[in-house]
A and B are shown apart, each in its own frame.
Chain A
Amino acid sequence: DGGITQSPKYLFRKEGQNVTLSCEQNLNHDAMYWYRQDPGQGLRLIYYSQIVNDFQKGDIAEGYSVSREKKESFPLTVTSAQKNPTAFYLCASRRELGQETQYFGPGTRLLVL
């Protein structure tokens, strides 16, 4: 059963805490992406990775960090430096070559306590 999984579905963060959002895909896709979506807003790109052990900042990378140690996994850490982290976080992946688009995981909703 191929797809993209994200966990947890909901995540609560306390002040000053770092939290990590998981994203795993078994589609053998090369590229993986993290987006943030605020209520009623569009998608904003946080980080993306086109190959293992390499990643690039998107439009709103400040306060976030990522790693890409395996092709299947692209975890996102929301650090304490991100002052307004409450949002819906979406992971996506795509085959890097060709005309295919991105496919999304189910998302993680992050709330601040």
Chain B
Amino acid sequence: QKEVEQNSGPLSVPEGAIASLNCTYSDRGSQSFFWYRQYSGKSPELIMSIYSNGDKEDGRFTAQLNKASQYVSLLIRDSQPSDSATYLCAVLSQKVTFGTGTKLQVIP
């Protein structure tokens, strides 16, 4: 079992819709959870971090964490074509472990 799992996609959503990206992790001792966005040919940039159960909102982005289910998600409201990228989930326990990413395509 991979330590951090994501569906590779591509996930296609129409412009203006809500995009929902999911991630599961195996280490119950994980403390912190992060979402990165990576545009094609560029390096990953941190967009959200979440440390406790529940929701955390930042603009159009909402991160959701459920430690009991070992599940973290990222919702993007009012999706824009500029949101088209690969989204990496990362989990911190003893070290930071990355998922392989979900490719999001927002269709105009």
Contact = CB atoms under 8 A, between A and B. Distances in A.
B16 to A, nearest CB: 28
Contact of B31 (A42, A99, A106): A99
A107 B100 contact: no
Contact of A106 (B34, B42, B88): B42
A107 B100 CA distance: 18
A105 B45 CA distance: 9
Q: Using C-beta atoms within 8 Å of the partner chain, give the interface range for chain A.
A: 10 to 19
A101 B101 contact: no
Contacts of B51: 99
A112 interface: no
Contacts of A99: 31-32, 49, 51, 92
B23 interface: no
A104 interface: yes
A49 to B, nearest CB: 13
Interface of B: 31-32, 34, 41-46, 49, 51, 88, 90, 92, 96, 98-101
Interface pairs A-B: 10 shortest CB-CB: A42-B100, A99-B32, A104-B43, A101-B34, A107-B43, A43-B98, A104-B44, A102-B96, A106-B43, A90-B43
